[in-house]
Amino acid sequence: MTSTPDPKTGPSRSGPSRRLFLAGAAAVPLVAVRTRPALAAEFTYKLATGQSLTQPINARLEQACGRIREASGGRMELRFFPASQLGSDTDLITQVRTGGIEFLNISGSVISTVAAGAAITNVGFAFADYDHVWRGADGPVGQYVRSQIEKAGLIVAAKAADNGFRQITSGSKPIRAPDDLKGYRIRVPVAPIFTSLFSSLGASPTSINFNELYTALQTRLVDGQENGLVAIESGKLYEVQKYVSETNHIWDPFWIVANRRALGKLPEALQEIVRRELDRAAMEQREDVVRLTGTLKTQLAGRGLVFETADREAFRKSLTQAGFYRDWKEKFGPEAWKALEAVTGALA
């Protein structure tokens, strides 16, 4: 998202919220203080994200860029471009594949548009909790996703970060059970498995980039959307939505991907520094999200959002009856499904 939305005019160009931008990271400065003139870097690369400025991942990646410069003795400069400054998510994927940018932080749901197997983490109502999530992402599921992204010509440069469990929001009515989604116009990411999930539940999904979401809700192009609480807060979606249904229907990771040729040009020592610092950023961001999620529900309720309890078993039963799990098991194939069910147990 390129901006912080205004309740009347939609997205504006105002600065980030310091409270969330520095959440969990206050002890570490975002910009290092230089005491001597900086030498020209031997390698100058770009790292982009489509996430809004207040997302914790951006604070951590900003810090990682500073540490990479310092640890490399100035040989490596990774310039950071957050909040869709260089284009929408789909634009950024094209740029990292062609070498226009060298590194990109992107959600699994969006990278699946070019690496279809990456969507295995997005199977609806598969992960019960974070124990399932990290056993999968740091284990067999993550290994499978990495292999699929590599087949698309990119390299996963770090551990997965946390884009959060996703919840359904609505501006008109609470969503508690599958019947509440019949004919419901819901925004989903530009990813086939999201469209399939909500179509299987009887909704009318529409794919819209996140940087266009606030306006789409404000103008009622769609009735609702689904995202994690951090994204709901950072995008100020509470200004244009009324209800939050705690469905935890999908968990989505962030993957830091790199252009294969650009990463390969770096000497091995610099590659090790980059991977180490990006890994650190991902692990610290995981902790940030846990802390934020623990307080965001109270904050969002205070801003007028009404939280509803969803019947997860009813949703899962409805998906089974619609053939959702059967169809995706066939599409992913036995290797991917085996990796998933090794963590989640039998789904279909």
Phi-psi region of 99 (alpha: psi -120 to 50; beta: other; left: phi over 0): left
Tens digits of pLDDT across the chain (348 residues) = 433 344 334 444 344 444 444 444 444 444 443 444 457 999 999 999 999 888 899 999 999 999 999 999 999 999 999 999 999 999 999 999 999 999 999 999 999 999 999 999 999 999 999 999 999 999 999 999 999 999 999 999 999 999 999 999 999 999 999 999 999 999 998 889 999 999 999 999 999 988 899 999 999 999 999 999 988 998 899 999 999 999 999 999 999 999 999 999 999 999 999 999 999 999 999 999 999 988 999 999 999 999 999 999 999 999 999 999 999 999 999 999 999 999 999 997
Q: How many CB atoms lie within 10 A of CB 333?
A: 11
Which one, of 176, 162, 278, 284, lies nearest residue 231 by Cα? 162
Q: Percentage helix, strand, coil, to 5, in the chain?
A: 45, 20, 35
- List of residues 6+ apart from 210 with CB closer than 8 A: 1, 50, 51, 52, 89, 189, 227, 231, 235
Q: Would you state the structure tokens that stand for residue 35, as one six-digit string?
A: 């005491």
Domains, in order of start, for the chain = 17-162+253-293 (3.40.190.170), 167-249+303-344 (3.40.190.170)
> Is residue 247 classed exposed, middle or buried when 0-12, 13-18 and 19+ CB atoms within 10 A define those classes?
buried
Q: Helix 192-200 vs helix 324-332: angle between axes, to the nearest 10 degrees?
A: 160
Task: Give the span between the Cα atoms of 324 and 202, in whole angstroms.
Answer: 12
In angstroms, how far apart are the furthest CA atoms of the chain? 66
Q: Based on C-alpha coordinates, what's the Rg of the chain?
A: 20
Count how many Cα atoms sit within 13 Å of the Cα of residue 344 in the half-sphere of its side chain. 25
- List of residues 6+ apart from 135 with CB closer than 8 A: 343
